[in-house]
Amino acid sequence: MSDIAFSSGLQLAAGLQKGDFSAVELLDHYLKRIDRYNPALNAIIELDVDRARTRAEAADAALARGDRWGPLHGVPMTIKESFDVAGLHTTRGNPAFRDHVASEDALSVKRLKQAGVNLFGKTNVPLDLADFQSYNDIYGTTNNPWDTNATPGGSSGGSAVAMAAGLSGIDNGSDIGGSIRNPAHYCGVFGHKPTWGLLPPRGHAAPGVLAQSDLAVIGPLARSAADLETLLLAQAGPDEIMSAGYSLNLNPPSFDTLGDLRVAAMVNHEIAPVSQACEARVEGVLDIIRSAGGKINYDARPAFDLAKAHEVYETLLWSVMASRSSDEAYRQVDEEVSRLSPEDQSQRARNLRARVASYRDYSAANEARTHYRWAWHQFFEDYDVLITPLMATPAFAHDHRPFGQRTLTVDGSERPYFEQLFWAGLAITSYLPATLVPTGALGNGLPIGVQLIGPELGDLKVLGVAKLLENAGLRFTPPPGYSD
């Protein structure tokens, strides 16, 4: 089973079907790798070995009878700690929930199990899922397998590490500020942020919370674009209430080759400058498409002001994030806002005001967002995909200082820590799907990803572009030092 740990989930499922190995052998293979590599990475923070082995035995018995549970029959899977799995902890990295144990599987977990997965562990997150890093006072710090002194990203950092280091077959995360895509970028794997609402998130929330949060989505991380599509379709579709009148019917891609593509490109932007290295990787992807005959337009933009749209995103984002805070924390922000001068329009002041935005303020932001959604709809009548960077740099060194003290160095220039939200927010604000495609490692040993954004509910289109690029050579490459 040499290096089988780096196979895609679908390749593992095919190997199980052919009898190349059993589900029990595959589970044990990953568990041995976790024993060997996880102590230095701290990606997987809770295991469910007994139940997983029982399910692996049942998977093998089912195959022996000729039964197949689904496309991922018997494939070992880990999942972000913030998903409810009956009998396991769901803390979201918050000590207030340290002892919380879920009594029921999240809806997505139920659907993934119906697709055949063997869920055997949970992966690390930052406090309240709110950082580009993954560390908390319960489980500690997760390290990047390409450089353990660097962040793996967040908030689905443990999930991306599990994929990159070959500790699991497939994984699932969530995204409100790039939390699937930036760990995928930093760790060199594939990740997909679905259209908002396409995957019902029930069971992915703080204890007792049932309402779906604005902006936030759940979605897959994997070592192949085809895995992303399989995991997406396994979880997508209306919940029990909506299924009375709705059914899933996503349009397939309207193209067959890279040469058929109509591409809009944005390789950098003054709102959130990216490094020359990240810009070059976007250009490299565009070169692949151009060489295949695809059409590239560097000037095409949706018909609205991107700077104003980013301000709307920040208003919506920080309002949503503040809704997760404790009563005491919310009161403290409210008191601080009351002391602000009306003339203070600094980034910090705008952030604080957004955290205590009135319903009127939020409604105004939502109205603006709705105009942007329609502008994107018109934009994607002419273009199949928008290709952009996702983060300003490769993975940066661990930095656990207070948020206000953190900066990022972009080609020698100090930039605000949360400035990068611009690139993630392009898709989030208007509910668009976005796929992160790995492009390999740089000379300094750190990978870089490129973002593909498509039309609302055009998830199969965006994933179709990702699959074509993967076939053209943009494949997952494991970090050195993790071979069997």
- pLDDT for the residue 443: 61
In a domain, 235, yes or no: yes
Give residue 310's domain range: 306-368
Residues 344, 218 share a domain: no
| H/E segment holding residue 193 | strand 190-193
In a domain, 37, yes or no: yes
Residues 15, 128 share a domain: yes
* DSSP secondary structure, 118-149, as one string: EEEEEE---GGG-SSS-EETTTEE--BTTBTT
In a domain, 205, yes or no: yes
Taking residues 174-197, report their average pLDDT: 98
Yes or no: say if 280 and 340 are a contact pair by the CB < 8 Å rule. Answer: no
d(CA 447, CA 468): 20
Q: Domain tally for the chain?
A: 2
Yes or no: say if 91 and 45 are a contact pair by the CB < 8 Å rule. Answer: no
Residues 212, 63 share a domain: yes
d(CA 228, CA 235): 11
Q: Tens digits of per-residue pLDDT, 35-71? A: 999 999 999 999 999 999 999 999 999 999 999 999 9
d(CA 4, CA 18): 14
CATH code for the domain of 157: 3.90.1300.10
Token pair recorded at residue 401: 């200082």
Longest CA pairwise span in the chain (Å): 73
Residues 310, 251 share a domain: no
Q: Is the pTM of this model over 0.85?
A: yes
Q: Is the pLDDT of residue 121 over 80?
A: yes
Residues 245, 123 share a domain: yes
In a domain, 94, yes or no: yes
Residues 133, 217 share a domain: yes
In a domain, 15, yes or no: yes
- pLDDT for the residue 348: 87
Provide the 10 A C-beta neighbour count for residue 39: 8
Mean pLDDT of the chain: 97
Residues 165, 56 share a domain: yes
> Which residue type sits at 235?
Q
* Domain boundary, last residue among 350, 368, 386: 368
In a domain, 404, yes or no: no
In a domain, 291, yes or no: no
Q: Tens digits of per-residue pLDDT, 295-351? A: 999 999 999 999 999 999 999 999 999 988 888 989 999 999 999 998 998 888 988
Residues 233, 310 share a domain: no
At residue 107's C-alpha, the angle toward residues 106 and 112, to 5°, is 95
- pLDDT for the residue 18: 97
In a domain, 327, yes or no: yes
> Which residue type sits at 76?
P
Residues 209, 88 share a domain: yes
Residue 1: pLDDT band (50, 70, 90) is low
Residue in the block written with tokens 């999240």: 106
Residues 326, 184 share a domain: no
Q: Tens digits of per-residue pLDDT, 381-397? A: 999 999 999 999 999 99
